Each structure stands twice: as structure tokens, then as C-alpha cells.
């Protein structure tokens, strides 16, 4: 073959070799979504572990720098030097700090916070007894905040500038400004002392105290399980005032955040489009705008619940509520550091867990975070 014939294109170029068919990606979109979810879960659990470790570091340092000698609290000021040294070694205080911290972490992981000087029992047993009372109080307070705060925030945003919006702003302002101890004392004076509408301090009256078999540690639930309606009514009359007080502060926060979220959504173009299509205002507000704030609102509610768990100390003291807040306060006044640190770890763990749980739900449920 000559050069001219090649250049003239007398023959067609060879056909390309057939390629094997492309194999579909294993799992397709479901596989990618699963991997993304696993990465999110891994990140959340890593954050949880690191945050809990930081919490343990802080509580360990507090326990070492507090001007309270735990050995003297155990042996007493009249103990001999030999007794003091024996207790000092029994507590592991003669070991290096890193070893003391390792022992402390190991004990906390196994639920061992030491023995309470005030009660003479294991701190873990005390916390198991008092924590359900705080959970019950905070749960009812959060439910009150949700039932009142969410509709109030939605309506305030939908009627921006109207009288309901003004009321919502005043409610939120008062909720953030009023001292909780003053509201608690005034509530007891008016609704218990003067009107007699609610029960007094404590979880139950003398007639019903200790009469219901304890199952969950939450009196309302236990009385329902037992079918004792008289005890349930008595327990409800005692919890409704402190729960309403906490619920008021919860609804102040929830209503303000709900209003803010709704105002942002109601200014969106899709809301204008929905109205142009002739949809009813109720459907526009609740079916479109509110649905889009459900995920961030869930985060707000979780944080509100965590705040009530750790912030109900004054309420528990005023109403003689035998919860973890009152337990930590009494332990602090008695110099019982095992009880103080144990309660702090439990409350801190709950707050961290609820915070990370809300963040996890936000990432998994909000398509914009995918």
C-alpha cells in the first residue's frame, strides 16, 4: 500500500473494541445513603465520647481542688493519724493523679460514684431513687411548654403585629425576666395557701405517701399502673404547680423560637405560590410552613427538656421536691463531694446525650443536611 492511498482514506478505521457493560454500583443510592448515615452516626458517637471524657475531666479536677478533705469527712476530725492514713490509701489518694483519674473513669463507667456521706448509701442508689422525680417534673413541664408554646408561636407569626403577637412577646419577656423562686413562692401563697386549688410541697400528701408500689419511680405513672385514682389525683395536685412553673419558662423559649422559625418560612416564595394557588390559610400555615420547621423545632424542644432537667434546682427546693437538684444542693451544703460529682455527671450526661440526639435527628431528618 502506498502513502497516497493511506492519506486518501481508501480504507475505514478499525472499529473500537466492544466494552463490557458497566456494572451497577453496589447498593446504588441506598448504599450511599447508608454509608452517609453510618458516617453521621460515627461522628455523633465520637463527639459523645469526647464530650463525656471532657465532662469527667472537669468533675475530676473539681473534686481535687475543692477545699474539702474527703478523708476527714469519712473518719471525722477526732481520728488518729493512722486512721487518717488508712482511709487516705483506701480512697486511692496516694496514687499519681493519672492513675486516680483512670480509676475514676473506670468506676463511673460501671456506675460506681462512691458512697454518700450524707445518706450512708451508694451514690448510684441515691441517684436511682431521686432522678425519676426530676424526670417526671421536667417531662410534664416540657409538655406544657409544647402544648401552649408551639401554637402560640405559630399564631403569633401568622398574625404578626396583632394582639396575639404582642401577648406572645410579653409572655416570653416575663418568662425570661421573672425570678423563678419568686414565682414559686407566690404560686404557693396564692394557689395553695389562699385558694387551696393545688397540693402543697412534696410529691404526695401524708395519706398517700408510700402507699403505691414503686415501678418507675414516677408517681403519676406508678399510680396509673396501680389503678389508684385517688393517689393519682393527689400526686397530680402536687406536681401541677411546679410543673406549670417550669412549663412557663419552657413555653417562653419554645414560643419565641417557633415564632422566629415561622416568620422565616412565611416569607418564602413557596408560601406566596401556595397562596396564589388558592390554598386555605390554615393549610398554608400548618401544612406547609409548620411542616418545614418541625425538624429544627424538635431540636429546640430537646434542648428545653435538657435545660429543665438541670435547671430545676430552685423549683425543687421551693416545693420540697425530692429530685436530683435538691439532692445535689443538700450534698453540697454537707460537703458530700461524691454525691455532688455523681449528680453532676448524671445531669451533664443527660444534657450531652439530648443535645447530640437532637443533632443526630436533625441530620437524619432534614434533607438539606444530606
**Structural domain boundaries of the chain?**
43-109, 128-369
Say what the pLDDT of residue 168 is.
Answer: 86
Is the pLDDT confidence value at 10 over 50?
no
Mean pLDDT for 233-241 is: 92
Stated length of the chain: 370
Residue 310 CA: distances (Å) to CA of 27, 56, 324, 325, 326: 44, 17, 9, 7, 11
Tally of CB atoms within 10 A around 52: 19
pTM, entire model: 0.79
Segment 68-95 shows an average pLDDT of 73
Provide, rounded to the nearest whole percent, the portion of the chain with pLDDT above 70: 86
Q: Is the Cβ–Cβ distance between 255 and 156 less than 8 Å?
A: yes
168-206 burial by CB neighbour count: b if 16+ within 10 A, else e?
Answer: beebbeebeeeebeebbeebbeebbeeeeebbeeebbee
Tens digits of per-residue pLDDT, 315-368?
Answer: 888 898 999 988 988 888 887 888 888 888 898 888 888 888 877 777 666 655
What angle, 0 to 180 degrees and rounded to 10, lies between the N-to-C axes of helices 337-365 and 28-65? 160
- Residue 158 cell numbers, joined: 401568622
pLDDT band at 12 (very low <50, low <70, confident <90, very high): low
Mean pLDDT of 131-151: 93
Asked whether 158 and 262 are in contact (CB, 8 A), the reply is yes
136, pLDDT greater than 90: yes
Q: What are phi and psi of 187, to 5 degrees?
A: -65, -45
C-alpha cell, 150: 408551639
Domain 128-369 sits in CATH 3.40.50.1100: no
On the question of pLDDT at 21 being above 90, the answer is no
C-alpha cell at 345: 455527671
Lowest mean pLDDT among 24-28, 59-63, 87-91, 211-215: 24-28
In the block, cell 486516680 appears at: 100
> Any idea which residue has 471524657 for its cell?
53
Which among 246, 237, 244, 239 has a CA at the least distance from the CA of 198? 237
How much of the chain, in percent, has pLDDT values that exceed 90? Answer: 17
Q: Band of the pLDDT at 143, cuts 50, 70, 90? A: very high
pLDDT (average), residues 129-143: 92
Q: What is the pLDDT of residue 308?
A: 87
- How confident is the model at residue 6, as a pLDDT? 42
Q: Which of 67, 64, 71, 56 is nearest to 96 (CA)?
A: 64
What's the mean pLDDT when you consider all of the chain?
81
Whether residue 153 contacts residue 259, with contact meaning beta carbons closer than 8 Å, is answered with yes
**Does residue 63 have a pLDDT over 90?**
no
Pick left, alpha or beta for residue 196 (phi over 0 → left; psi -120 to 50 → alpha; otherwise beta): left
Amino acid at each position: 500500500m502506498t502513502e497516497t492511498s493511506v492519506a486518501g482514506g481508501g480504507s475505514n478505521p478499525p472499529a473500537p473494541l466492544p466494552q463490557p457493560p458497566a456494572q451497577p454500583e453496589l447498593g446504588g443510592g441506598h448504599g450511599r445513603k447508608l454509608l452517609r448515615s453510618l458516617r453521621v452516626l460515627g461522628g455523633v458517637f465520637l463527639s459523645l465520647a469526647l464530650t463525656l471524657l471532657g465532662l469527667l475531666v472537669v468533675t475530676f479536677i473539681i473534686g481535687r481542688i475543692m477545699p474539702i478533705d474527703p478523708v476527714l469527712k469519712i473518719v471525722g476530725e477526732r481520728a488518729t493519724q493512722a486512721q487518717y492514713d488508712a482511709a487516705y490509701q483506701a480512697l486511692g489518694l496516694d496514687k499519681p493523679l493519672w492513675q486516680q483519674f483512670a480509676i475514676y473513669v473506670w468506676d463511673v463507667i460501671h456506675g460506681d460514684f462512691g458512697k454518700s456521706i450524707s445518706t450512708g448509701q451508694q451514690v448510684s442508689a441515691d441517684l436511682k431513687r431521686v432522678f425519676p422525680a426530676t424526670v417526671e417534673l421536667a417531662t410534664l413541664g416540657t409538655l406544657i411548654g409544647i402544648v401552649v408554646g408551639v401554637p402560640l408561636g405559630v399564631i403569633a407569626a401568622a398574625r404578626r403585629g396583632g394582639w396575639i403577637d404582642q401577648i406572645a412577646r410579653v409572655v416570653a419577656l416575663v418568662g425570661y425576666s421573672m425570678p423563678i423562686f419568686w414565682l414559686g413562692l407566690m404560686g404557693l401563697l396564692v394557689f395553695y395557701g389562699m385558694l387551696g386549688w393545688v397540693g402543697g410541697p412534696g410529691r404526695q400528701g401524708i395519706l398517700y405517701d408510700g402507699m403505691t408500689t414503686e415501678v418507675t419511680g414516677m408517681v403519676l405513672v406508678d399510680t396509673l399502673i396501680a389503678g389508684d385514682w385517688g393517689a393519682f389525683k393527689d400526686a397530680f395536685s402536687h406536681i401541677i404547680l411546679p410543673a406549670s412553673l417550669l412549663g412557663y419558662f419552657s413555653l417562653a423559649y419554645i414560643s419565641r423560637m417557633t415564632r422566629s422559625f415561622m416568620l422565616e418560612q412565611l416569607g418564602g416564595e413557596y408560601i406566596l405560590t401556595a397562596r396564589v394557588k388558592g390554598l386555605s390559610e390554615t393549610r398554608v400555615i400548618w401544612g406547609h410552613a409548620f411542616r418545614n420547621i418541625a425538624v429544627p423545632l424538635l431540636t429546640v424542644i430537646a434542648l428545653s427538656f435538657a435545660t429543665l432537667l438541670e435547671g430545676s434546682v430552685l423549683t425543687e427546693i421551693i416545693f420540697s421536691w425530692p429530685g436530683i437538684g435538691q439532692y445535689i444542693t443538700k450534698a453540697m451544703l454537707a460537703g458530700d463531694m461524691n454525691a455532688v460529682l455523681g449528680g453532676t455527671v448524671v445531669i451533664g450526661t443527660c444534657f450531652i446525650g439530648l443535645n447530640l440526639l437532637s443533632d443526630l435527628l436533625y441530620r437524619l431528618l432534614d434533607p438539606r443536611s444530606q
